[in-house]
């Protein structure tokens, strides 16, 4: 009786490589924009942007700040030391509060929220 033909052994498939996790989106930090605004304000000039561009920039910055703060689980200092005056901060804060239809009672509730770090 003849032997059945030998079966070829299948090579084991290598384990799939783990996919590399993509890092968070890296974005140009807008250094040229920041330098232009800083230079204009140092010369006593108002940086001129169209209202549409200004809104787009502020919208993006607020969204990025809120997302990164939530992700970090702590409040990230929003400004470089002594880079924004109290007047500048309050003007922007009041406009933001009005834009999203909040009142000071709403803000007080958020203000008392515990801040880690």
- Is 80 contained in some domain? yes
Alpha carbon distance 33, 36 (integer Å) = 5
Determine the pLDDT at residue 19: 57
> Is residue 42 in some structural domain?
yes
- The answer to whether residue 15 is domain-embedded is no
In tens, the pLDDT along 80-115 reads: 998 999 999 999 999 999 999 999 899 998 888 777
Residue 94 is predicted with a pLDDT of 94
Is 17 inside a domain boundary?
no
How many domains does the chain contain in total? Answer: 1
Instruction: Please tell me the chain's helix, strand, coil percentages from 3-state DSSP, rounded to the nearest 5.
Output: 50, 0, 50
Q: Which domain holds residue 105?
A: 31-111
Looking at the domain assignment, is residue 12 inside a domain?
Answer: no
**3 state DSSP class of 52:** helix
- Answer whether 0.75 is exceeded by the pTM: no
Using CA atoms, how far apart are residues 31 and 82, in angstroms rounded to an integer? 18
Q: Would you say 107 and 96 are in contact if contact means Cβ atoms under 8 Å apart?
A: no
């Amino acid at each position: 009786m003849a032997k059945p033909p030998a079966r070829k052994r299948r090579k084991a498939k290598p384990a799939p490589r783990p996919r590399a996790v993509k890092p968070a989106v890296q974005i140009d930090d807008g250094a040229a924009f920041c330098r232009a605004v800083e230079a204009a304000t140092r010369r006593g000039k108002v940086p001129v942007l169209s209202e549409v561009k200004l809104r787009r920039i502020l919208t993006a910055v607020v969204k990025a700040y809120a997302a990164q703060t939530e992700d970090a689980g702590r409040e990230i200092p929003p400004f470089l030391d002594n880079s924004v005056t109290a007047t500048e901060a309050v003007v922007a804060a009041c406009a933001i509060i009005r834009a999203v239809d909040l009142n000071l009672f709403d803000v007080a509730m958020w203000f008392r929220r515990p801040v880690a770090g």
